[in-house]
A and B are shown apart, each in its own frame.
Chain A
């Protein structure tokens, strides 16, 4: 028995130790970058919610803003944002999902497919304010006169549709088109090719396959994309700035008019615009009201987004293929 201490032949050399140390250091630096993102975000959110706490209450959500937003609550802008989201979804959801179906199921590799792909990325990169200019040029200046020439009484200005929910929804819809196309395409791409092939082999046509196999299996993924679109539409300001949003519109405090306050052809109020104006354009605005509306907008977005996150986690647990 040899009990004499033997030096470990696998012990790291000086050089290797230095290498390990450097690798570890770099790992921690990268972790630090993540912390740089996470900690300030949390700090800022906590700061906003703490400063908003004095004004946050159910009344704050339920009452209409009064005295240029210095008093009252956020009901009118909240409802406006809700209708804007619904309006834009009506336009963008079918078109976007069908576009994704085309790109994923029908399009063949080729020049056209390539051009469509570039168009989608370009559309996603167009600045929001340029979307606003487009909405002004296309929907407010061209579409609305056309609509008015059909529906409005030329002698009565009150029957004319103005820039409002309709034009703003259309603008936001165009803006969200690439978002929904990209996420729906990803969801469709997640359905295994063998599913489609099995269905074709049973004699189903392309459209039957899409309807009965592809769409049901990618539904929750598509839904996640729709939810993300909702949260994006709810927060946008620049595209609706010239296409129908207004800082103040009278909204009744009671009755049906409180729930359905806006015609599609009338300017409307929205959360993002409300926050924009009260945070820097009205003097002597109480701090609490500023932080309050910021907190409500952030809360709304996080609430909507949490659905998407939960849906995705649930989806991952449920996937059987």
Chain B
């Protein structure tokens, strides 16, 4: 079921002179190649976030499997084979198995989501994603009653991933969400940006996008989704639990031990870009704060 959620962006987020993407939800029942035509062309709107450019979104990436430099993914990710692609869905589900990307796309309704994207390194972008709600995919596999968490895994293929020659992280890259976070309508699996298929460096052919969490939670090039009753391992959390919590919700009041998270720099402002204040839950407080009611967000960072 698509369109549980509607963009609610204000003028304060926008740049007056710029061309805007339509803030309305744009629905499409078509997958893959038909998507661009089905979604129509970009439109001006009174309100809305101005997305970053294609060049910005595709040239400035963290995808450590291809190297730790921001430009490494765009340089080396084309080595990754994304056809054929399948996602193993296992654990506490009724219909475990290997789901091919075609099978998944055939069953899903793609829609557009323009989200803020906030990296833990204190930079940010606005990205026009196309994808479907993770909840739809999980329901396709049938979530069992005992499931409390969802674990994700990125492709690990050293022959195509030069960055994995170094043990920067404990490969394969893994991430996790609580089941209620995973089922939240804001949480999507993206298949495209700018109405084009996801470039490899952005996590082709299928990636998670959780807009109220730091970017590293939005795991790329997903090959496995596991429903469990225990908190699944998360790569950055394993590498440095003091710096990267399991939740990693965007929170201007909780500093990273090595830098403040109170402000961020929007990519694209050039050499003299001003910092802007970081928003609680990256601006999605109204939608997601309820998930963490009663929790100490300083403790559970």
Q: Say whether A associates with B.
A: no
A interface residue numbers (CB < 8 A to B): none
B interface residue numbers (CB < 8 A to A): none
